Amino acid sequence: MVPDHGVLDPETDPLATLVLEPDDLRTLAQRVASSPEGGTRTHHAPWTGAPLASLPQSTPADVARAARRARAAQRRWAAVPARDRARLLLRVHDLLLSRQSDVLDLVQLENGKARAAAFEEVADVAILARHLGLRAPAYLADERRPGLVPGLTGVRVQHDPVGVVGVVAPWNYPLSLTLGDVLPALAAGDAVLLRPDPQTPLTALWAVELLEDAGMPAGLVQVVLGDGPTVGAAVVDHVDHLVFTGSTATGRVVAARAAERLVPTTLELGGKNALYVAGDVDVEVAAEGAVRACFGGTGQLCVSAERLYVHEAVADPFAAALARRTRALRVGTGLDYRSDVGSLTSAEQLARVVEHVEDALSGGARVLAGGVHRPDLGPYVYEPTVLEGVGEHARAFREETFGPVVALSRVASDDEAVAAVNDSGYGLHASVWSGSSRRGAALAARLRAGSVSVNEGYQASWGSVAAPQGGRGASGWGARHGREGLLALTAARTVAVQRGAHGLRLAGRRVLPPVGLGRVLSGPPERWTADVTAVLRAARRLRLR
């Protein structure tokens, strides 16, 4: 979509003011459900602060019309067999990998992250598309369950599409957390009403274009653009299930609005994720892993680590190794792989990072690496930062920073580390590093988090898409990924068939009398209560389930 142009210079580089071909932009804009009343909005490139694109905006009336179109398309899509719906996802997989250069450009230009971090999004979606493309039909198939009367009560659980799924996607991983939630809905037989974040709409529109090119029926995914209080709230009012990724504060508002309509929700909210380094680690290996866990995606990653707890037995060499590796990270911007860490996405994110660091330093924290705003590299570029001695009352100690800042603390034992990790209202993700996999797994089982990676930062758990990924406490509820995430976008129906009610007939003649619950329950209550009690006791002795 744009050439591989290297570092953008706002003084001399035309990409600083024009990064999309006009025809490309018009094609993407046509996919927005909008009307003249909504006006337009211009969003800006984080690398330069220059205008990136102006797109039409939606009104609540546009959202309602888009929801009706999605619902009409969904009725046809639900009739398509699950195996055929799954084939769409496999085509998405192939097209995404072949067109990755275009979307890598878009993700970087809208979000500001380094190219390697942008590629994580491509790989993540490809893994999920492959998994669901191969496994979704089995996940969605009717399930046999034990019946009330063994041999006579046949029970099946069926999974219907819920209808229209609302996806309110964030700006920090605009491809992963758009297609990552859209694809399961399509596999389940649902339509999608998608509202991407105003900072990263182009990536979402590109994703819808990809779906269409892969063979998605027209109208099945509707895109609306606009702010959260107006357009985002209207999405909640017109869907049958809502998937929301964002802050805890906004998640509470979204959940309350959805509850008024009794609409189920999947919420991935904030986190203050912790990483524990036990006393038996290889310090260099653990430090390398911690750098990836803390600063991937410029620290603007829901599951990145912001708190480091290090056993005092290895604290000094680990801190030195971590600081050295952090200072060695290449910070910069450009449509290539020359930078390890890119830019923050907005002035708001930069202000939050600066405030958290300055607040921690005023309380006595020390800078081991970073702590510097780099406007020479870009308006929102901030060096990866390691702090030690962050006080309990510092904002960086309790609040989510959502930037390239991590606070290191020393602990005297595994028990102290577990208590410190769990001392948070959040419970999204955690990481444990130990020289013993068994010890690491045992520690992980004690942590209050929706997912824990042992001897890895976050990719091991997040990339294992057959397993659910969700939060606890203030980090939300529900989960994406796995069978659990897919079935959350369906409505279950239990069908119980009672056999024997009309007896057994051969050649039109009854050879066995009617049997079953009707016969049992038609007699005197004293008789059938005694009979049922005897059966219940026998079932307990026989361990029937």
Is 383 catalytic? The answer is no
For residues 125 and 173, the answer to whether their CB atoms sit within 8 Å is no
Burial class (CB in 10 A: 0-12, 13-18, 19+), 422: middle
Contacts of range 361-368, beta carbons closer than 8 Å, 24 or more positions apart? 361/387, 363/390, 363/391, 363/393, 363/394, 364/389, 364/391, 365/389, 365/390, 365/391, 365/394, 365/396, 365/407, 368/319, 368/322, 368/323, 368/326, 368/408
Q: Find, among 401, 379, 167, the residue nearest to 300 by Cα.
A: 401
For residues 194 and 211, the answer to whether their CB atoms sit within 8 Å is no
Residues 545, 534: Cα–Cα separation, whole Å: 16
Indicate which residue of 268, 388, 400, 456 is catalytic: 268
Residues 273, 285: Cα–Cα separation, whole Å: 20
Residues 45, 522: Cα–Cα separation, whole Å: 75
DSSP symbols for 3-32: ----S--TTT-GGGT--S-HHHHHHHHTTB
Using alpha carbons only, give the angle 280, 371, 431 rounded to the nearest 5 degrees: 30
What values do phi and psi take at 415, rounded to 5?
Answer: -60, -40
Residues 239, 236: Cα–Cα separation, whole Å: 6
HEC-encoded secondary structure of 397-452: HHCCCCCCEEEEEEECCHHHHHHHHHCCCEECEEEEECCCHHHHHHHHCCCCCCEE
Catalytic residues: 268
